[in-house]
Protein backbone atom coordinates (compact mmCIF):
# COMPACT_ATOMS: atom_id res chain seq x y z
CA UNK A 1 0.00 0.00 0.00
CA UNK A 2 1.12 3.61 -0.52
CA UNK A 3 1.60 5.35 2.80
CA UNK A 4 2.66 8.86 3.80
CA UNK A 5 4.04 9.65 7.23
CA UNK A 6 3.98 13.32 8.24
CA UNK A 7 6.62 14.02 10.88
CA UNK A 8 9.75 11.89 10.99
CA UNK A 9 10.53 11.96 14.71
CA UNK A 10 10.58 9.01 17.10
CA UNK A 11 7.08 7.85 16.22
CA UNK A 12 6.98 8.81 12.55
CA UNK A 13 10.35 7.31 11.67
CA UNK A 14 9.63 4.04 13.46
CA UNK A 15 6.14 3.83 11.94
CA UNK A 16 7.43 4.60 8.44
CA UNK A 17 10.36 2.21 8.61
CA UNK A 18 8.30 -0.64 10.07
CA UNK A 19 5.44 -0.21 7.59
CA UNK A 20 8.03 -0.28 4.78
CA UNK A 21 9.49 -3.44 6.31
CA UNK A 22 6.08 -5.04 5.79
CA UNK A 23 6.30 -4.27 2.07
CA UNK A 24 4.47 -0.95 1.91
CA UNK A 25 5.70 1.95 -0.22
CA UNK A 26 6.34 4.68 2.38
CA UNK A 27 6.98 8.40 1.92
CA UNK A 28 8.20 10.21 5.06
CA UNK A 29 7.77 13.97 5.19
CA UNK A 30 9.40 16.35 7.62
CA UNK A 31 9.69 20.13 7.71
CA UNK A 32 13.14 19.83 9.28
CA UNK A 33 15.55 19.79 6.34
CA UNK A 34 18.49 18.71 8.52
CA UNK A 35 16.62 15.55 9.64
CA UNK A 36 15.72 14.69 6.07
CA UNK A 37 19.35 15.24 4.99
CA UNK A 38 20.66 12.90 7.70
CA UNK A 39 18.16 10.23 6.62
CA UNK A 40 18.93 10.67 2.93
CA UNK A 41 22.63 10.33 3.70
CA UNK A 42 22.09 6.94 5.32
CA UNK A 43 22.07 8.04 8.97
CA UNK A 44 19.29 8.33 11.52
CA UNK A 45 18.76 11.42 13.70
CA UNK A 46 17.88 9.53 16.91
CA UNK A 47 19.22 6.61 18.90
CA UNK A 48 16.76 3.71 18.74
CA UNK A 49 17.99 0.11 18.88
CA UNK A 50 17.58 -1.75 15.58
CA UNK A 51 16.06 1.20 13.73
CA UNK A 52 19.08 2.10 11.61
CA UNK A 53 19.10 -1.37 9.99
CA UNK A 54 15.39 -1.29 9.19
CA UNK A 55 15.73 2.18 7.67
CA UNK A 56 18.80 1.23 5.62
CA UNK A 57 17.28 -2.02 4.33
CA UNK A 58 14.05 -0.40 3.21
CA UNK A 59 15.70 2.66 1.69
CA UNK A 60 17.92 0.34 -0.34
CA UNK A 61 14.86 -1.63 -1.44
CA UNK A 62 13.23 1.62 -2.63
CA UNK A 63 10.29 1.26 -0.25
CA UNK A 64 11.19 4.16 2.05
CA UNK A 65 11.91 7.74 1.06
CA UNK A 66 12.41 10.99 2.98
CA UNK A 67 11.55 14.45 1.74
CA UNK A 68 10.40 17.94 2.63
CA UNK A 69 8.16 18.11 -0.46
CA UNK A 70 4.64 18.58 0.93
CA UNK A 71 2.77 18.33 -2.38
CA UNK A 72 4.56 15.09 -3.26
CA UNK A 73 3.85 13.67 0.20
CA UNK A 74 0.13 14.34 -0.10
CA UNK A 75 0.03 12.88 -3.60
CA UNK A 76 1.85 9.72 -2.48
CA UNK A 77 -0.20 8.03 0.20
CA UNK A 78 -3.81 6.96 0.17
CA UNK A 79 -3.23 6.71 3.92
CA UNK A 80 -1.68 9.83 5.50
CA UNK A 81 -0.34 9.37 9.03
CA UNK A 82 0.05 12.53 11.11
CA UNK A 83 2.91 11.84 13.55
CA UNK A 84 4.06 15.35 14.43
CA UNK A 85 4.78 16.60 17.94
CA UNK A 86 2.05 17.71 20.34
CA UNK A 87 4.07 19.56 23.00
CA UNK A 88 2.40 21.15 26.01
CA UNK A 89 1.04 24.65 25.57
CA UNK A 90 1.54 27.20 28.33
CA UNK A 91 -1.70 26.14 30.03
CA UNK A 92 -0.80 22.44 29.90
CA UNK A 93 -3.09 21.60 26.98
CA UNK A 94 -1.65 19.83 23.94
CA UNK A 95 -0.42 22.32 21.37
CA UNK A 96 -2.12 21.23 18.16
CA UNK A 97 -0.51 23.75 15.81
CA UNK A 98 1.68 21.11 14.11
CA UNK A 99 -1.17 18.62 13.78
CA UNK A 100 -3.47 21.23 12.28
CA UNK A 101 -0.76 22.53 9.96
CA UNK A 102 -0.27 18.99 8.67
CA UNK A 103 -4.04 18.65 8.22
CA UNK A 104 -4.25 21.90 6.29
CA UNK A 105 -1.46 20.77 3.99
CA UNK A 106 -3.41 17.63 3.19
CA UNK A 107 -6.50 19.69 2.35
CA UNK A 108 -4.42 22.07 0.25
CA UNK A 109 -3.01 19.38 -2.03
CA UNK A 110 -5.20 16.28 -1.88
CA UNK A 111 -6.71 14.88 -4.99
CA UNK A 112 -8.71 11.69 -4.50
CA UNK A 113 -9.78 9.80 -1.38
CA UNK A 114 -7.49 9.96 1.68
CA UNK A 115 -7.54 8.27 5.03
CA UNK A 116 -5.98 10.71 7.50
CA UNK A 117 -4.65 8.96 10.59
CA UNK A 118 -4.03 10.84 13.81
CA UNK A 119 -1.05 8.92 15.19
CA UNK A 120 0.15 11.77 17.37
CA UNK A 121 -1.22 11.78 20.91
CA UNK A 122 -4.08 14.26 20.68
CA UNK A 123 -6.92 15.30 23.00
CA UNK A 124 -10.41 13.93 22.61
CA UNK A 125 -12.14 15.83 19.85
CA UNK A 126 -9.02 16.51 17.77
CA UNK A 127 -10.19 14.34 14.86
CA UNK A 128 -13.11 16.77 14.47
CA UNK A 129 -10.68 19.70 14.33
CA UNK A 130 -8.49 17.88 11.80
CA UNK A 131 -11.59 17.14 9.72
CA UNK A 132 -12.61 20.81 9.86
CA UNK A 133 -9.12 22.01 8.87
CA UNK A 134 -9.00 19.71 5.84
CA UNK A 135 -12.58 20.58 4.84
CA UNK A 136 -11.76 24.28 5.12
CA UNK A 137 -8.82 23.98 2.74
CA UNK A 138 -10.84 21.87 0.32
CA UNK A 139 -13.61 24.48 0.35
CA UNK A 140 -11.07 27.20 -0.51
CA UNK A 141 -10.13 25.14 -3.55
CA UNK A 142 -13.79 24.58 -4.47
CA UNK A 143 -13.36 20.84 -3.84
CA UNK A 144 -15.69 20.37 -0.91
CA UNK A 145 -16.92 17.07 -2.27
CA UNK A 146 -13.52 15.36 -2.13
CA UNK A 147 -13.71 12.30 0.08
CA UNK A 148 -11.62 11.70 3.16
CA UNK A 149 -11.97 10.27 6.63
CA UNK A 150 -10.00 10.98 9.80
CA UNK A 151 -9.26 8.00 12.03
CA UNK A 152 -7.49 7.84 15.37
CA UNK A 153 -4.67 5.32 15.73
CA UNK A 154 -2.65 6.28 18.81
CA UNK A 155 0.82 4.86 19.20
CA UNK A 156 1.89 2.82 22.21
CA UNK A 157 5.54 2.14 21.34
CA UNK A 158 8.19 2.70 24.00
CA UNK A 159 11.37 4.55 23.12
CA UNK A 160 14.30 2.17 23.49
CA UNK A 161 12.17 -0.77 22.32
CA UNK A 162 10.23 1.02 19.60
CA UNK A 163 10.92 -1.26 16.64
CA UNK A 164 10.09 -4.39 18.62
CA UNK A 165 6.96 -2.73 20.06
CA UNK A 166 5.78 -1.63 16.64
CA UNK A 167 6.44 -4.98 14.97
CA UNK A 168 4.95 -7.02 17.83
CA UNK A 169 2.27 -4.77 19.32
CA UNK A 170 0.28 -5.93 22.32
CA UNK A 171 -2.64 -3.95 20.93
CA UNK A 172 -3.58 -1.75 18.01
CA UNK A 173 -6.26 0.82 18.77
CA UNK A 174 -8.18 2.27 15.85
CA UNK A 175 -11.11 4.64 16.09
CA UNK A 176 -13.20 5.36 13.02
CA UNK A 177 -16.66 6.70 12.35
CA UNK A 178 -19.64 4.99 10.75
CA UNK A 179 -20.01 7.23 7.70
CA UNK A 180 -19.41 5.64 4.27
CA UNK A 181 -15.97 7.33 4.28
CA UNK A 182 -15.34 5.95 7.77
CA UNK A 183 -16.19 2.46 6.52
CA UNK A 184 -13.81 2.89 3.62
CA UNK A 185 -11.13 4.00 6.06
CA UNK A 186 -11.87 0.96 8.23
CA UNK A 187 -11.31 -1.36 5.25
CA UNK A 188 -7.99 0.27 4.35
CA UNK A 189 -6.71 0.28 7.94
CA UNK A 190 -7.75 -3.35 8.32
CA UNK A 191 -5.75 -4.23 5.23
CA UNK A 192 -2.72 -2.22 6.38
CA UNK A 193 -2.61 -3.82 9.82
CA UNK A 194 -3.54 -7.35 8.65
CA UNK A 195 0.08 -8.64 9.01
CA UNK A 196 -0.02 -7.85 12.76
CA UNK A 197 -3.21 -9.82 13.29
CA UNK A 198 -2.22 -13.11 11.67
CA UNK A 199 -2.07 -15.29 14.77
CA UNK A 200 -4.70 -13.53 16.74
CA UNK A 201 -6.64 -10.31 16.47
CA UNK A 202 -4.80 -7.51 18.22
CA UNK A 203 -6.86 -4.61 16.90
CA UNK A 204 -9.47 -2.93 19.03
CA UNK A 205 -11.90 -1.11 16.77
CA UNK A 206 -13.84 1.68 18.41
CA UNK A 207 -15.25 5.15 17.90
CA UNK A 208 -12.79 7.98 17.33
CA UNK A 209 -13.19 9.69 20.71
CA UNK A 210 -12.67 6.51 22.66
CA UNK A 211 -9.48 5.80 20.70
CA UNK A 212 -8.17 9.29 21.43
CA UNK A 213 -9.04 8.86 25.09
CA UNK A 214 -7.44 5.41 25.33
CA UNK A 215 -3.93 6.76 24.75
CA UNK A 216 -4.23 9.33 27.54
CA UNK A 217 -5.85 6.81 29.86
CA UNK A 218 -2.94 4.40 29.33
CA UNK A 219 -0.22 6.98 29.99
CA UNK A 220 -2.10 8.47 32.94
CA UNK A 221 -2.45 5.03 34.51
CA UNK A 222 1.27 4.27 34.08
CA UNK A 223 2.32 7.64 35.46
CA UNK A 224 -0.03 7.10 38.39
CA UNK A 225 1.60 3.78 39.25
CA UNK A 226 5.03 5.40 39.24
CA UNK A 227 4.02 8.35 41.40
CA UNK A 228 2.13 6.05 43.75
CA UNK A 229 5.25 3.94 44.31
CA UNK A 230 7.42 7.03 44.66
CA UNK A 231 5.18 8.48 47.31
CA UNK A 232 5.17 5.17 49.18
CA UNK A 233 8.97 5.01 48.86
CA UNK A 234 9.31 8.40 50.55
CA UNK A 235 7.10 7.15 53.37
CA UNK A 236 9.08 3.89 53.54
CA UNK A 237 12.21 6.01 54.10
CA UNK A 238 10.50 7.61 57.09
CA UNK A 239 8.87 4.58 58.67
CA UNK A 240 11.87 2.35 58.09
CA UNK A 241 10.52 -0.07 55.48
CA UNK A 242 12.20 -1.30 52.29
CA UNK A 243 10.20 -0.31 49.20
CA UNK A 244 11.85 -3.08 47.16
CA UNK A 245 10.51 -5.73 49.55
CA UNK A 246 7.12 -4.04 49.42
CA UNK A 247 7.23 -4.01 45.62
CA UNK A 248 7.75 -7.77 45.48
CA UNK A 249 5.09 -8.25 48.12
CA UNK A 250 2.38 -6.40 46.24
CA UNK A 251 3.45 -7.18 42.65
CA UNK A 252 2.87 -10.90 43.14
CA UNK A 253 -0.86 -10.17 43.33
CA UNK A 254 -2.00 -10.66 39.71
CA UNK A 255 -4.49 -7.83 40.13
CA UNK A 256 -1.51 -5.52 40.71
CA UNK A 257 1.30 -7.17 38.69
CA UNK A 258 5.02 -6.40 38.78
CA UNK A 259 5.34 -3.89 35.92
CA UNK A 260 5.74 -0.19 36.53
CA UNK A 261 6.08 -0.55 40.28
CA UNK A 262 9.61 0.79 40.53
CA UNK A 263 10.34 3.65 42.89
CA UNK A 264 12.92 6.10 41.58
CA UNK A 265 13.81 9.72 41.01
CA UNK A 266 10.77 10.57 38.89
CA UNK A 267 9.47 9.95 35.39
CA UNK A 268 10.38 12.11 32.40
CA UNK A 269 10.27 11.76 28.64
CA UNK A 270 8.21 13.27 25.90
CA UNK A 271 4.97 11.55 26.88
CA UNK A 272 4.02 11.03 30.53
CA UNK A 273 4.55 14.59 31.77
CA UNK A 274 2.76 16.26 28.89
CA UNK A 275 0.01 13.66 28.54
CA UNK A 276 -0.86 13.80 32.25
CA UNK A 277 -1.02 17.59 31.99
CA UNK A 278 -3.08 17.50 28.81
CA UNK A 279 -5.64 15.08 30.26
CA UNK A 280 -5.98 17.24 33.36
CA UNK A 281 -6.49 20.22 31.08
CA UNK A 282 -9.15 18.42 29.05
CA UNK A 283 -10.97 17.54 32.27
CA UNK A 284 -10.92 21.18 33.36
CA UNK A 285 -12.38 22.19 30.00
CA UNK A 286 -15.31 19.96 30.92
CA UNK A 287 -15.58 21.32 34.49
CA UNK A 288 -14.01 18.30 36.08
CA UNK A 289 -10.98 18.34 38.31
CA UNK A 290 -8.88 15.20 37.86
CA UNK A 291 -7.62 15.13 41.44
CA UNK A 292 -5.59 11.97 41.06
CA UNK A 293 -3.63 13.29 38.11
CA UNK A 294 -2.95 16.59 39.83
CA UNK A 295 -1.37 14.60 42.65
CA UNK A 296 0.53 12.37 40.22
CA UNK A 297 2.14 15.44 38.73
CA UNK A 298 2.93 17.04 42.09
CA UNK A 299 4.52 13.85 43.38
CA UNK A 300 6.62 13.59 40.24
CA UNK A 301 7.81 17.19 40.51
CA UNK A 302 8.82 16.49 44.09
CA UNK A 303 10.46 13.19 43.17
CA UNK A 304 12.73 14.76 40.58
CA UNK A 305 14.27 16.70 43.49
CA UNK A 306 14.69 13.72 45.79
CA UNK A 307 18.29 12.96 44.82
CA UNK A 308 19.23 16.63 45.18
CA UNK A 309 17.65 16.69 48.65
CA UNK A 310 19.62 13.60 49.69
CA UNK A 311 22.83 15.19 48.43
CA UNK A 312 22.11 18.39 50.37
CA UNK A 313 21.30 16.43 53.52
CA UNK A 314 24.65 14.65 53.25
CA UNK A 315 26.90 17.48 51.98
CA UNK A 316 25.08 20.64 53.10
CA UNK A 317 23.28 23.53 51.35
CA UNK A 318 26.40 25.08 49.96
CA UNK A 319 28.07 22.73 47.52
CA UNK A 320 30.85 25.11 46.41
CA UNK A 321 34.08 23.23 45.91
CA UNK A 322 32.27 19.91 45.67
CA UNK A 323 32.22 17.76 42.57
CA UNK A 324 29.62 15.14 41.70
CA UNK A 325 29.67 12.40 39.11
CA UNK A 326 26.37 11.65 37.42
CA UNK A 327 25.75 8.38 35.58
CA UNK A 328 22.79 8.44 33.23
CA UNK A 329 21.30 11.52 31.55
CA UNK A 330 18.61 10.23 29.15
CA UNK A 331 15.12 10.05 30.63
CA UNK A 332 15.35 6.27 30.45
CA UNK A 333 17.79 3.65 29.15
CA UNK A 334 18.27 2.80 25.46
CA UNK A 335 17.38 6.24 24.19
CA UNK A 336 19.13 9.57 23.76
CA UNK A 337 15.92 11.45 24.53
CA UNK A 338 16.52 14.13 27.16
CA UNK A 339 13.01 15.59 27.21
CA UNK A 340 11.91 16.19 30.83
CA UNK A 341 14.76 13.96 32.06
CA UNK A 342 15.28 13.86 35.85
CA UNK A 343 19.02 14.33 35.29
CA UNK A 344 18.36 17.92 34.21
CA UNK A 345 16.76 18.74 37.55
CA UNK A 346 19.66 17.22 39.48
CA UNK A 347 22.34 18.93 37.38
CA UNK A 348 20.53 22.24 37.81
CA UNK A 349 20.27 21.86 41.57
CA UNK A 350 23.91 20.84 42.07
CA UNK A 351 25.37 23.46 39.78
CA UNK A 352 23.24 26.30 41.18
CA UNK A 353 24.39 25.33 44.67
CA UNK A 354 27.98 25.85 43.57
CA UNK A 355 29.10 22.32 42.70
CA UNK A 356 30.77 21.12 39.54
CA UNK A 357 29.46 17.97 37.89
CA UNK A 358 30.98 15.40 35.63
CA UNK A 359 28.33 13.60 33.63
CA UNK A 360 28.24 10.43 31.57
CA UNK A 361 25.59 8.64 29.51
CA UNK A 362 26.17 5.73 27.10
CA UNK A 363 24.32 7.39 24.18
CA UNK A 364 22.85 10.76 25.18
CA UNK A 365 26.06 12.80 25.52
CA UNK A 366 25.58 14.92 22.41
CA UNK A 367 21.91 15.53 23.07
CA UNK A 368 22.64 16.22 26.76
CA UNK A 369 25.22 18.86 25.84
CA UNK A 370 22.74 20.54 23.51
CA UNK A 371 19.90 20.47 26.03
CA UNK A 372 21.91 21.47 29.11
CA UNK A 373 23.36 24.41 27.21
CA UNK A 374 19.80 25.60 26.64
CA UNK A 375 18.86 24.93 30.29
CA UNK A 376 21.64 27.27 31.39
CA UNK A 377 21.09 29.84 28.65
CA UNK A 378 20.41 32.42 31.41
CA UNK A 379 23.90 31.94 32.85
CA UNK A 380 26.54 30.39 30.61
CA UNK A 381 29.02 30.35 33.52
CA UNK A 382 26.91 27.67 35.18
CA UNK A 383 27.09 25.52 32.05
CA UNK A 384 30.88 25.68 32.32
CA UNK A 385 30.62 23.79 35.62
CA UNK A 386 29.48 20.71 33.71
CA UNK A 387 32.08 18.42 32.19
CA UNK A 388 31.20 15.61 29.82
CA UNK A 389 33.18 12.47 30.64
CA UNK A 390 34.34 9.91 28.08
CA UNK A 391 33.31 6.90 30.17
CA UNK A 392 31.73 6.08 33.55
CA UNK A 393 35.04 5.73 35.38
CA UNK A 394 36.40 9.00 33.99
CA UNK A 395 33.31 10.75 35.39
CA UNK A 396 34.25 9.59 38.89
CA UNK A 397 37.77 11.03 38.95
CA UNK A 398 38.04 13.50 41.83
CA UNK A 399 34.28 13.47 42.52
CA UNK A 400 32.99 13.66 46.08
CA UNK A 401 30.15 11.27 45.31
CA UNK A 402 28.32 9.48 42.52
CA UNK A 403 24.63 9.93 41.65
CA UNK A 404 22.86 7.49 39.33
CA UNK A 405 19.86 8.84 37.46
CA UNK A 406 19.22 6.43 34.54
CA UNK A 407 19.16 2.66 34.92
CA UNK A 408 21.37 1.72 31.96
CA UNK A 409 22.48 -1.93 32.03
CA UNK A 410 26.10 -0.76 31.81
CA UNK A 411 25.80 0.75 35.31
CA UNK A 412 24.38 -2.32 37.03
CA UNK A 413 27.55 -4.14 37.99
CA UNK A 414 30.51 -1.79 38.16
CA UNK A 415 33.82 -2.73 39.76
CA UNK A 416 33.06 -1.26 43.18
CA UNK A 417 36.73 -1.28 44.21
CA UNK A 418 37.52 0.98 41.25
CA UNK A 419 34.51 3.16 42.02
CA UNK A 420 35.68 3.59 45.60
CA UNK A 421 39.24 4.28 44.54
CA UNK A 422 38.17 7.00 42.10
CA UNK A 423 35.79 8.85 44.44
CA UNK A 424 36.99 11.20 47.18
CA UNK A 425 34.30 9.79 49.45
CA UNK A 426 32.76 6.37 48.85
CA UNK A 427 29.22 7.74 48.56
CA UNK A 428 26.56 6.68 46.04
CA UNK A 429 23.14 8.25 45.59
CA UNK A 430 21.17 5.71 43.59
CA UNK A 431 18.06 7.19 42.00
CA UNK A 432 17.02 3.87 40.45
CA UNK A 433 17.75 1.36 43.21
CA UNK A 434 20.27 -0.53 41.07
CA UNK A 435 22.31 -1.92 43.93
CA UNK A 436 21.65 -3.94 47.07
CA UNK A 437 22.23 -1.89 50.22
CA UNK A 438 23.83 -4.86 52.00
CA UNK A 439 26.34 -5.37 49.16
CA UNK A 440 27.14 -1.67 49.34
CA UNK A 441 27.62 -1.81 53.09
CA UNK A 442 29.90 -4.84 52.72
CA UNK A 443 31.94 -2.94 50.12
CA UNK A 444 32.33 -0.01 52.48
CA UNK A 445 30.18 2.29 50.35
CA UNK A 446 27.85 4.84 51.92
CA UNK A 447 24.68 4.20 49.93
CA UNK A 448 21.48 6.17 49.52
CA UNK A 449 18.70 4.50 47.57
CA UNK A 450 15.04 5.44 47.19
CA UNK A 451 12.76 4.09 49.91
CA UNK A 452 15.39 1.78 51.38
CA UNK A 453 16.57 3.73 54.41
CA UNK A 454 16.05 0.80 56.74
CA UNK A 455 18.91 -0.94 54.94
CA UNK A 456 21.12 2.08 54.42
CA UNK A 457 22.66 4.81 56.48
CA UNK A 458 21.22 8.08 57.64
CA UNK A 459 18.57 8.85 54.98
Subset of 258-297 contacting ligand NAI (CB under 6 A): 270-271
86 binds ligand NAI (CB under 6 A): yes
Nearest distance in Å: CB 166, ligand NAI: 10
Residues in Cβ contact with 152 at an 8 Å cutoff, skipping those fewer than 6 apart: 117, 118, 122, 126, 127, 173, 174, 175, 176, 208, 211, 212
Nearest distance in Å: CB 99, ligand NAI: 8
85 binds ligand NAI (CB under 6 A): yes
Choice from 21, 30, 137, 407 touching ligand NAI (CB under 6 A):
30
- For ligand NAI, the closer of residues 46 and 296 by Cβ is 46
Catalytic residue among 18, 28, 265, 271: 271
- The closest of 224, 246, 225, 249 to 235, measured between CA atoms, is 246
Contact in structure between 94 and 123 (CB atoms under 8 Å)? yes
First to last CA, the chain: 59
Choice from 1, 22, 25, 31 touching ligand NAI (CB under 6 A):
31
Residues in Cβ contact with 374 at an 8 Å cutoff, skipping those fewer than 6 apart: none
Choice from 56, 101, 167, 218 touching ligand NAI (CB under 6 A):
101
Three-state DSSP class for residue 63: coil
**Spatial distance between the Cα atoms of 336 and 459, rounded to a whole number of angstroms:** 31
83 binds ligand NAI (CB under 6 A): yes
**Spatial distance between the Cα atoms of 119 and 130, rounded to a whole number of angstroms:** 12
Nearest distance in Å: CB 21, ligand NAI: 18
Q: Which range, of 23-31, 138-146, 202-210, 380-388, touches ligand NAI by CB under 6 A?
A: 23-31
How many residues bind ligand NAI (CB under 6 A)? The answer is 26
**Spatial distance between the Cα atoms of 281 and 123, rounded to a whole number of angstroms:** 9
Three-state DSSP class for residue 41: coil
Choice from 3, 4, 7, 359 touching ligand NAI (CB under 6 A):
7
Choice from 3, 74, 102, 174 touching ligand NAI (CB under 6 A):
102
Subset of 178-197 contacting ligand NAI (CB under 6 A): none
130 binds ligand NAI (CB under 6 A): no
Nearest distance in Å: CB 336, ligand NAI: 11
- The closest of 113, 116, 108 to 141, measured between CA atoms, is 108
Nearest distance in Å: CB 150, ligand NAI: 15
For residue 190, count CB atoms less than 10 angstroms from its CB and return exposed for 0-12, middle for 13-18, buried for 19 or more: middle
Choice from 65, 80, 121, 433 touching ligand NAI (CB under 6 A):
121
- The closest of 302, 303, 243, 293 to 272, measured between CA atoms, is 293
341 binds ligand NAI (CB under 6 A): no
Please give the radius of gyration of the chain, using alpha carbons only, rounded to the nearest integer: 24
Residues in Cβ contact with 424 at an 8 Å cutoff, skipping those fewer than 6 apart: 323, 398, 399, 400, 401
Choice from 3, 26, 29, 293 touching ligand NAI (CB under 6 A):
29
9 binds ligand NAI (CB under 6 A): yes
DSSP assignment letter at 94: B
271 counts as catalytic: yes
Nearest distance in Å: CB 279, ligand NAI: 12
Choice from 21, 48, 137, 155 touching ligand NAI (CB under 6 A):
155
Number of C-beta neighbours around residue 247 at 10 A: 21
Residues recognised as catalytic = 271
The contact set with ligand NAI (CB under 6 A) reads 6-12, 29-32, 35, 83-86, 98, 101-102, 120-121, 155, 157, 159, 270-271
Amino acid sequence: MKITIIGTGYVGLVTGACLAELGNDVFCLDVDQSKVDILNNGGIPIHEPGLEDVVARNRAAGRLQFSTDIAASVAHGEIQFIAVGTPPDEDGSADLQYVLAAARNIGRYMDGFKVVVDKSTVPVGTADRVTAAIADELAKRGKSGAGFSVVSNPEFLKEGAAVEDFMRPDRIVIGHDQTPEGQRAYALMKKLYAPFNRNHERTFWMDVRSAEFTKYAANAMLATRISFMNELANLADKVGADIEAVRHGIGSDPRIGHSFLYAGCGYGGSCFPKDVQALERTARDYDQDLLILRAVEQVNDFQKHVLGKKVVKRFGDDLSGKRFAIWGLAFKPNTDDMREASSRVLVDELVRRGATVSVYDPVAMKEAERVLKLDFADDAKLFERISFAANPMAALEGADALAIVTEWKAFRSPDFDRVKAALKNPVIFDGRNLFEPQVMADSGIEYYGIGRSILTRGQ
